[in-house]
């Protein structure tokens, strides 16, 4: 039992704001689960909370400013609201003790692989009298590069009907050893560590027993699972495809997804698993970053344009509907018009179902930060808008191919835009909107025949 568990701790109401990627969403869920297990409660919102935590991102400067700015606003109001304010996640590791110069009344700052300490910190602060004044306790917890967090498999019990009651993230690979030239993730999230396969299988088994229908396995370069450290007790086969095949056998589970992938991991074995394992969704998030071989080399991505396109072709060879989505960076140092046009043409050749476009942002300490950030902001914006417009056209074209087909949809509930309609996602992670029938329930699979295609959504009727 932890110290927090042994001591009688005053129960507090907590609220967590999460910025950034799915990894952060998952870490926030684990923190919520640990706080609930320690006897604390969720607040209805930040106004109603005794404790507010901001989970931060630092992958781009703007993302960091948003999270730190939010925390600053909370710190300014904490005295009046009698709140404790904490910051967790990637920005904490980047800023280190400097975070308290920026936010002097912050109570605690906890780096990414140490979120398991939060219940203990809360217990310590509560034991000291809570909160005495608007001054910050300034407690800092910075993880080591190889630290294995506590609470990795903690999941909160969520209310029936909520989307997170039937969809869960599961972290399988921590950190990243790729060191792409522009990326700060390896500095803040540390070295790769693959969780033992038996631990992951047990966690997914527990989730399925609780009614979870879909899991998404997380790792920065998730196909590297089991390559730096052993994940399976015996040798036998490629570790990640083998994990997918093992999870495919879990009763009650309907779908398995994963993110993010790298072309080097698109092996014949992975393709075989996609083909043979019914629950493994035919969708891959395969960040390309650029379509120019020169830029890819400078970024240190370890593939060429041709190798990338070959990986996509291999996945679509057995199923032309296989969904491929990507991340792209525009305005990398030295990116010429010709490089940009190469990205544009690659995106058309690959036929991406969806893409996320980012304007290059220099990150301190990365190799690219030493290069001049020489694509002017208006030009980055122009390239960004051009790729977004291309994606609208391409998304519509890809979706039109699906009109008349029947999609198996995991129902999420009333659509955000029009609550008379419901929405869910097909195996390709495409949003499908439809008129619900009386028997349709959130968290169930339903067949929907597609009647209309739009760039970002499919519309259909229950088949």
Q: Which is nearer to ligand SF4, 368 or 453 (CB)?
A: 368
**Shortest distance, position 23 Cβ to ligand SAM, whole Å:** 8
Q: Which is nearer to ligand SF4, 32 or 180 (CB)?
A: 180
Q: Which is nearer to ligand SAM, 63 or 152 (CB)?
A: 63
**Shortest distance, position 22 Cβ to ligand SF4, whole Å:** 12
Among ligand SF4, ligand SAM, none, what binds residue 363 when CB lies within 5 to 8 Å by partner kind?
Answer: ligand SAM
**Shortest distance, position 228 Cβ to ligand SF4, whole Å:** 13
Among ligand SF4, ligand SAM, none, what binds residue 327 when CB lies within 5 to 8 Å by partner kind?
Answer: ligand SAM
Tell me, residue by residue from 39 to 68, as one string, x for binding to ligand SAM by CB under 6 A and - for no binding: --------------------xx--------
Q: Which residue number is nearest to ligand SF4 in terms of Cβ?
A: 183
Q: Residue 270, Cβ neighbours under 10 Å: how many?
A: 21
Q: Which is nearer to ligand SAM, 329 or 450 (CB)?
A: 329
Q: Which is nearer to ligand SF4, 18 or 221 (CB)?
A: 221
Nearest residue to 175 via CA among 206, 137, 211, 148: 148
Nearest residue to 88 via CA among 46, 53, 124, 43: 53
Q: Which is nearer to ligand SF4, 219 or 395 (CB)?
A: 219
Determine if 341 is a binding residue for ligand SAM (CB under 6 A): no
Tell me, residue by residue from 161 to 190, as one string, x for binding to ligand SAM by CB under 6 A and - for no binding: ---------------------xx-x-----
Residues binding ligand SAM: number (CB under 6 A): 17
Among ligand SF4, ligand SAM, none, what binds residue 347 when CB lies within 5 to 8 Å by partner kind?
Answer: none
Residues 181, 210: contact at Cβ < 8 Å? no
Please give, one letter per residue, the 3-state secondary structure of the chain.
CCHHHHCCCCCCEEEEEECCCHHHHHHHHHHHHHHHHCCCEECCCHHHCCEEEEEECCCCHHHHHHHHHHHHHHHHHHHHHCCEEEEEEHHHHHHHHHHHHHCCCCCEEECHHHHHHHHHHHHHHHHCCCCCCCCCCCEEECCCCCCCCCCCCCCCCCCCCCHHHHEEEEECEECCCCCCCCCCHHHHHCCCEECCHHHHHHHHHHHHHCCCCEEEEECCCHHHCCCCCCCCCCCCCCHHHHHHHHHHCCCCCCEEEEECCCHHHCCHHHHHHHHHCCCECCEEECCCECCCHHHHHHHCCCCCHHHHHHHHHHHHHCCCCCEEEEEEEECCCCCCHHHHHHHHHHHHHHCCCEEEEEECCCCCCCHHHHCCCCCCHHHHHHHHHHHHHHHHHHHHHHHHCCCCCEEEEEEEEECCCCCCCEEEECCCCCEEEEECCCCCCCCCEEEEEEEEECCCEEEEEEC
What does the binding site for ligand SF4 look like in residue numbers (CB under 6 A)?
A: 176, 178-180, 183, 185-186, 220-221
**Shortest distance, position 386 Cβ to ligand SAM, whole Å:** 17
**Shortest distance, position 334 Cβ to ligand SF4, whole Å:** 18
Determine if 287 is a binding residue for ligand SAM (CB under 6 A): yes
Cis before 260 (ω within 30)? yes
Hey, which residues between 353 and 372 contact ligand SAM (CB under 6 A)? 358, 360-361, 363
**Shortest distance, position 174 Cβ to ligand SAM, whole Å:** 12
Determine if 434 is a binding residue for ligand SAM (CB under 6 A): no
Q: Residue 461, Cβ neighbours under 10 Å: how many?
A: 11
Among ligand SF4, ligand SAM, none, what binds residue 358 when CB lies within 5 to 8 Å by partner kind?
Answer: ligand SAM
Q: Which is nearer to ligand SAM, 173 or 458 (CB)?
A: 173
Q: Residue 310, Cβ neighbours under 10 Å: how many?
A: 13
**Shortest distance, position 329 Cβ to ligand SF4, whole Å:** 9
| CB-count exposure of residue 33 (10 Å: 0-12, 13-18, 19+) | middle
**Shortest distance, position 205 Cβ to ligand SF4, whole Å:** 28
Residues 52, 86: contact at Cβ < 8 Å? yes
**Shortest distance, position 180 Cβ to ligand SF4, whole Å:** 3
Q: Which is nearer to ligand SAM, 24 or 423 (CB)?
A: 24
**Shortest distance, position 99 Cβ to ligand SF4, whole Å:** 22
Determine if 15 is a binding residue for ligand SAM (CB under 6 A): no
Residues 282, 428: contact at Cβ < 8 Å? yes
Q: Which is nearer to ligand SAM, 149 or 219 (CB)?
A: 219
Among ligand SAM, ligand SF4, none, what binds residue 186 when CB lies within 5 to 8 Å by partner kind?
Answer: ligand SF4
Q: Which is nearer to ligand SF4, 188 or 280 (CB)?
A: 188
Q: Which is nearer to ligand SF4, 59 or 280 (CB)?
A: 59
Q: Where do contacts with ligand SAM occur on this chain (CB under 6 A)?
A: 21, 59-60, 182-183, 185, 220-221, 260, 287, 289, 327, 329, 358, 360-361, 363
């Amino acid at each position: 039992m932890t110290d927090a568990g042994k001591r009688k701790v005053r129960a507090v109401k907590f609220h967590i704001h999460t910025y950034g990627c799915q990894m952060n969403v998952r870490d926030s869920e684990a923190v919520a689960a640990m706080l609930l297990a320690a006897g604390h409660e969720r607040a209805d919102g930040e106004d109603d909370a005794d404790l507010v935590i901001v989970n931060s991102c630092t992958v781009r400067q703007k993302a960091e400013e948003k999270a730190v700015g939010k925390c600053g606003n909370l710190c300014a109001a904490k005295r009046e609201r009698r709140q404790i304010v904490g910051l967790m996640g990637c920005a904490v590791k980047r800023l280190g003790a400097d975070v308290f110069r920026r936010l002097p009344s912050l109570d605690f700052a906890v780096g990414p692989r140490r979120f398991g300490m939060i219940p203990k910190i809360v217990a310590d602060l509560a034991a000291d009298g809570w909160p005495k004044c608007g001054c910050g306790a300034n407690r800092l917890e910075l993880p080591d590069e190889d630290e294995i967090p506590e609470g990795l498999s903690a999941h909160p019990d969520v209310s029936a009907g909520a989307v997170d009651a039937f969809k869960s993230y599961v972290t399988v690979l921590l950190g990243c050893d790729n060191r792409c030239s522009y990326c700060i993730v390896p500095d803040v999230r540390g070295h790769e560590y693959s969780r033992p396969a038996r631990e992951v299988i047990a966690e997914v088994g527990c989730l399925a027993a609780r009614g979870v229908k879909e899991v998404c396995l997380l790792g920065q370069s998730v196909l590297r699972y089991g390559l730096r450290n052993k994940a399976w007790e015996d040798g036998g086969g490629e570790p990640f495809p083998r994990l997918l095949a093992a999870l495919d056998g879990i009763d009650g589970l309907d779908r398995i997804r994963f993110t993010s992938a790298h072309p080097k991991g698109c092996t014949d074995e992975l393709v075989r698993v996609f083909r043979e394992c019914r629950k493994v969704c035919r969708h891959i998030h395969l960040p390309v970053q650029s379509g120019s071989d020169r830029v890819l080399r400078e970024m240190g991505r370890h593939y060429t344009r041709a190798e990338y396109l070959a990986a996509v072709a291999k996945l679509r060879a057995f199923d032309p509907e296989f969904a491929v989505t990507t991340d792209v960076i525009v305005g990398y140092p030295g990116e010429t018009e010709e490089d940009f046009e190469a990205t544009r043409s690659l995106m058309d050749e690959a036929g991406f179902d969806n893409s996320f476009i980012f304007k290059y942002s220099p990150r301190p300490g990365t190799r690219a930060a030493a290069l001049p950030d020489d694509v002017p902001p208006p030009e980055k914006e122009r390239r960004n808008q051009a790729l977004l417009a291309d994606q609208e056209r391409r998304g519509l074209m890809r979706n039109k191919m699906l009109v008349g087909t029947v999609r198996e949809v995991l129902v999420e509930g009333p659509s955000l835009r029009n609550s008379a309609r419901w929405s869910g996602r097909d195996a390709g992670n495409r949003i499908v909107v439809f008129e619900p029938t009386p028997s349709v329930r959130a968290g169930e699979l339903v067949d929907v025949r597609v009647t209309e295609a739009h760039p970002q959504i499919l519309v259909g009727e229950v088949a």
